Structure 1
Amino acid sequence: MTVQPPHYFQFSQESQFRETMAGPVAELWQRRQEGMFEGVDQLKVGWVSLTGFNHDKAIIVVNGRIESYWKYQELFYDLVQQGYDVFALDHRGQGVSDRLAEDTELGHIEEFDDYVSDLKTFFECEIAPRNYCQHFMLAHSMGGTIASLFLAENPGLIDSAVLSAPMHGIHINNWMKPIASPLARVVEQMQRQPGYAPGQVPYYPKPFADNPLCQSQIRYQWFRDLYEQKPELKIGGPSARWVWQGLAAARRCIARAPDITTPILLLQGSEDNIVDNQAQNLFCHTMQQAGRHCQLKVIEGARHELLFEVDKYRHPVLSATISHFRKAETIES
């Protein structure tokens, strides 16, 4: 596999998606290393790495709710092509990691901070011992919440970070915002065991035409097909407890934004109706007011899944990501 020279931006193309996934991406995926570590309460958390491409620089990918590192094979290929080693984990309760509820498709969490603790354990046990000179982080959606709290609690560990559509708030109708968290708490108290939040259901593969995530049909269908081929990856709606825990964690991201010393690039889809873009704006403003570096880049026309969008949105997202990391590399050198 040929790794591109620095500052040469070339990413996989929708027009050649099937050939790329069946050829070089599949070839790279065969070289992966996988493992498990013990997270909070001895829960088994799965991880993957693609190494040997750069002994000095590594990117840690922190995925979102319902996701698995299996979904990110194309992204890993693009990052490796740019000359980085890559690491990722599946959060507790999803992907290849241990579930937290009897219903294996329920998106549940006991304490949101457990996600953050697991990420710290992953870093300390699997990444830090390899002695990279620089560590970068690319986090999406709920992964952006986890990464924001991780960065606030662990200054100096990560040299540069990109937050893709981070969940600094959830897109909720204005009239529902004040009652969403207390309602979820009440519902949880009424349930004898972890159960779905109001209006939430087990895994359902929404047809492409109705999906709010992205506008790339070929990428969307590939990810849905993956979950049919590997049904153990399927996760449906969140539990009532996850909802109020997630909302509280999102608020803490903004409150703790001044504690983040890592330079941040925040990527926002203008047509995102999954997370709250106004909360992202507030997060960025709060960092800037504290004298921290946070650059906001809006991708006009893009939906929530910036890393799975059509090329005209996805390529600028990846270019901005790599450029942001390269700035830290220049400072280091």
Structure 2
Amino acid sequence: MASEVHYMWQKREQGEFKGVDGIPIRWISIRHPQNERCVVIVNGRNESFWKYQELCYELSRKGYDVYAYDHRGQGASGRLTNDSELGHVICFNDYVSDLHSFITNVVGKQTYRQRFLLAHSMGGAVATLYLEHYQTHFNAVVLNAPMFGINLPVPLKLVASSIAKIIERYQTQPYYVFGHKPYHEAPFEENDQCQSQIRYVWAKHLYQLHPELRVGGPSARWVWQALAAAKSCIRDVEHIHTPVLLLQAGDDTVVDNDSHHLFYSKCPECKMKVIPHARHELLMEKDCLRNQALEDTLDFFETYS
């Protein structure tokens, strides 16, 4: 990370475009004149393209140009509330519109023989809705632990959306949903995201160096918008005509793994693979698990190259 990856990162291109309602959306790319294929990375909630430096390096070495951007309200992009650490969105479809603008106006300016999409968690829901609502020219898509549902106790699943909607209605301004708070750093031993201590510590150090990237818990509106979007992903699955590989983290406690099986059963274009013992952040996991996820991703892309 301090040598080859750092050198690559210093050579990145970066830019900005106006998303829905004029929110500045910031992006980066790693390009080489000889590359004829690209990968667009769609990150998850509370993430930034800064966190994906290792993946950008690996994809670049495999001959892919890499494009990544930060969602509205997080990372290097513009915020929607006075509290810069509140995870908030007005409408989940704004994420989808921003992705469409990024692909059309940034990635679309370059000519490639093949284009691929790689999305994680909330980004998986954003990418799926994009596939369902826009005509795309991607050869294949990989969804890592996509947010087709949030992992909640069964009784709470039935009422979570309604509760979040009621809370949001009576708030005078957006605020953290019950039980959540601004950004804080949990010890590695208490985290439910990954089992790689070195990657976990590196990511936390990144947010110490760049505090402007930090995001804490979600707002009530974000919760009910996200739950509604997750349902839409499965409801409209018949509109997907692009080959999809769904990689599920076997020990995921963040998203609802049952929803992956439902999506898979309804989507003829979808292949699904479970990576046993992996936690939610497959591409931040310890090497034996992360390597498997990366190998499956690259193999899938090669199949459609």
The TM-score bracket by the shorter chain reads: over 0.9
Structure 1 Cα separation of the partners of residues 103 and 34 of structure 2: 17
Equivalent residue for 2:290? 314
- Percent identity of the aligned residues? 48
Equivalent residue for 1:60? 40
Q: Any idea what the Cα deviations from partners look like across 1:61-108, whole Å, max 9, x if unmatched?
A: 000000000000001011111110000000000001000011100000
Is the 8 Å Cα contact of residues 25 and 78 (structure 2) preserved in structure 1?
yes
Equivalent residue for 2:231? 251
Is the 8 Å Cα contact of residues 80 and 86 (structure 1) preserved in structure 2?
yes
Equivalent residue for 2:129? 149
**Cα drift, residue 156 of structure 1:** 3.5
The equivalent position to 1:42 in structure 2, one of 22, 26, 32, is: 22
Equivalent residue for 1:134? 114
The equivalences for 1:225-240 within 5 A come to: 225-240=205-220
The equivalent position to 1:200 in structure 2, one of 159, 162, 180, is: 180
Structure 2 Cα separation of the partners of residues 162 and 323 of structure 1: 11
1:101 and 2:81 matched: yes
Equivalent residue for 2:242? 262
Structure 1: which 4+ aligned runs deviate by more than 6 Å?
none
Amino acid at match of 2:44: G
Unaligned runs of 5+ in 2: none
Unaligned runs of 5+ in 1: 1-20
1:295 and 2:271 matched: yes
Amino acid at match of 1:94: Q
Structure 2 Cα separation of the partners of residues 92 and 74 of structure 1: 23
Is the 8 Å Cα contact of residues 155 and 261 (structure 1) preserved in structure 2?
no
Q: Any idea what the Cα deviations from partners look like across 1:212-243, whole Å, max 9, x if unmatched?
A: 00000000000001001100000000000000
Amino acid at match of 2:158: P
Q: Any idea what the Cα deviations from partners look like across 1:178-208, whole Å, max 9, x if unmatched?
A: 1100000111011100111111110011110
Is the 8 Å Cα contact of residues 66 and 236 (structure 1) preserved in structure 2?
yes
Equivalent residue for 2:140? 160
Give the root-mean-square deviation of aligned CA atoms. 0.8
Structure 2 Cα separation of the partners of residues 53 and 149 of structure 1: 31
TM-score (norm 2): 0.99
1:223 and 2:193 matched: no
Structure 2 residue matching 1:273: 3-state secondary structure: coil
Structure 1 Cα separation of the partners of residues 109 and 144 of structure 2: 27
Equivalent residue for 1:304? 280
Q: How many residues align?
A: 305
Amino acid at match of 1:175: P
**Cα drift, residue 272 of structure 1:** 0.1
Structure 2 Cα separation of the partners of residues 232 and 268 of structure 1: 31
1:185 and 2:128 matched: no
Q: Any idea what the Cα deviations from partners look like across 1:270-314, whole Å, max 9, x if unmatched?
A: 1000000000111111102xxxx2111000000000000001100
Equivalent residue for 1:326? 302
Structure 1 Cα separation of the partners of residues 33 and 10 of structure 2: 15
Structure 2 Cα separation of the partners of residues 174 and 165 of structure 1: 20
Amino acid at match of 1:251: K
